[in-house]
Amino acid sequence: MSSPAVPLLINTDDAAHKNSSGKMTEYYTIKNEMAARAALIVRACDELLKLTNDLKEFLILHDFNFLTHAIKSAEEECDKKMKAQIQKHNALRIDVTNLLTDMDKEIMEHFTFRH
């Protein structure tokens, strides 16, 4: 995207170029205009630098927010999996206990010494 061309203030009148004061006036006019344009360019570059830094800061802060959210969701997922594993473990423990009880009962009924 290019900005519209701004013409320099150059005097095209031939009478102004015939004497040395006209040439010097035009020289200083162009010099001052170029200095003003250079200052505007420097200011625009500073503004772009500030904008770039603000964008970087914004992205970094939001990345930390994303990381915090990702960590929380990972912790919640881990807690869910841990609870599911604990429930499975408890169910297996109860099943094994019931099997052992049934086996003890079976052994007591069939393999005890009868007097």
Residue 53, pLDDT above cutoff 60? yes
Instruction: Give the position of tokens 């970094």.
Output: 60
Mean residue pLDDT across the chain: 85
CA geometry: angle at 29 spanning 34 and 15, to 5°?
Answer: 135
Q: How far apart are CA 18 and CA 12, in angstroms?
A: 12
Looking at the whole model, is its pTM more than 0.75? no
**Confidence at residue 3, expressed as pLDDT on a 0 to 100 scale:** 52
**Confidence at residue 1, expressed as pLDDT on a 0 to 100 scale:** 46
CA geometry: angle at 10 spanning 24 and 28, to 5°?
Answer: 30
Token pair of 115, please?
Answer: 């007097």
Q: How far apart are CA 7 and CA 14, in angstroms?
A: 18
Predicted confidence (pLDDT) per residue in 77-106, tens digit: 999 999 999 999 999 999 999 999 999 998
Residue 114, pLDDT above cutoff 80? no
